[in-house]
A = this chain, B = another copy of it.
Amino acid sequence: MRTMNDRGSKDAKRPLRRAHVVRLMHYYHLLREWIGRGNGDTVSSSQIAEWLELDDTLVRKDLAAIGVRGCPRIGYAAAEVIDAIHKNLGFEDQHRAIVVGAGRLGGAIAAYPGFARYGLTIVGIVDNDPDKLGQDIAEHRVLPLDALPDLVRERQVDVVILTLPAEAAQDAADRAVTAGIRAIWSFAPTSISVPPEVKVRHEHLSTGFAELAYHLKQTSPEGK
């Protein structure tokens, strides 16, 4: 429970808001690219702000909130920012996930090589389609959806990744919650209901496209 004292205490940090977490991820990706391209070890808040189209005071505030401060005329040590984000967002913890849905998207996610960096390991894949059972997808034998509770216990799973059609998502989410899952990452094109202690992150693949559609609209000859 949060008390009045938390506000003034340095150790009892207030939780970050959702939009803050998302911006930290943008800084993280940006700075990893920045270092990877040999741009040097430091970066200024105004450079970050310009690339991401944010205010640089917001960038400084976001970084200060996770304990990172820049130096005047030098900026931030990019590696320090990356480390701080990594630690503050919990990527040092290990998480184990089951993919629910062995379709194309489920297969793509089960095979995606980029999750290990964030402490996420895919440990199984289940589906309710009898035709898919027994197939091997990205080194995982597809098991029945009914096996989910046992898998959650046996493989110490704490995240479920839903890649099912809309009509099957709620049932799968209910099973995951009953099995004790507290985090659901849903790629299903629908909303799902869960108890308040369970976090659902809805992934809308189309959100990324919105930025491109807007750019095309702004730069098209008729759009001006």
**Cβ contact of A19, chosen from B33, B54, B204, B206, cutoff 8 A:** B54
Given A104-B104, A207-B29, A212 contacting B185 (CB threshold 8 A): yes
Does A18 have its Cβ within 8 Å of any Cβ on chain B? yes
The reply to whether A21 and B210 contact each other, CB–CB distance below 8 Å, is yes
Q: How far is the CB of A51 from chain B (nearest CB, A)?
A: 10
The reply to whether B191 and A212 contact each other, CB–CB distance below 8 Å, is no
**Cβ contact of A21, chosen from B118, B189, B191, B214, cutoff 8 A:** B214
Rounded to whole angstroms, the CA-CA distance of A205 and B95 in the bound complex is: 16
The reply to whether A215 and B189 contact each other, CB–CB distance below 8 Å, is no
- Classify chain A: how many residues form its interface, as a range: 35 or more
The reply to whether B18 and A52 contact each other, CB–CB distance below 8 Å, is yes
Does A108 have its Cβ within 8 Å of any Cβ on chain B? yes
Q: Mark A88-127, 1 if CB is under 8 A from B, else 0.
A: 1111010100000001110111011111011110000000
**Cβ contact of A89, chosen from B52, B213, B220, cutoff 8 A:** B213
Does A199 have its Cβ within 8 Å of any Cβ on chain B? yes
Complex A-B: 18 CB contacts under 8 Å: A18-B211, A19-B52, A36-B190, A89-B213, A90-B214, A95-B212, A95-B213, A105-B108, A107-B108, A113-B189, A114-B205, A117-B206, A120-B206, A158-B216, A183-B215, A197-B219, A199-B215, A201-B211
Supplied contacts A15-B218, A118-B209, A199-B212, 8 more A-B pairs, CB within 8 Å: A18-B52, A21-B210, A25-B204, A29-B204, A36-B190, A90-B213, A91-B213, A201-B208
Q: Interface residues, chain A, CB within 8 Å of chain B? A: 15-19, 21-26, 29, 33, 36-37, 52-54, 88-91, 93, 95, 103-105, 107-109, 111-115, 117-120, 158-159, 182-185, 189-191, 197, 199, 201-220, 223
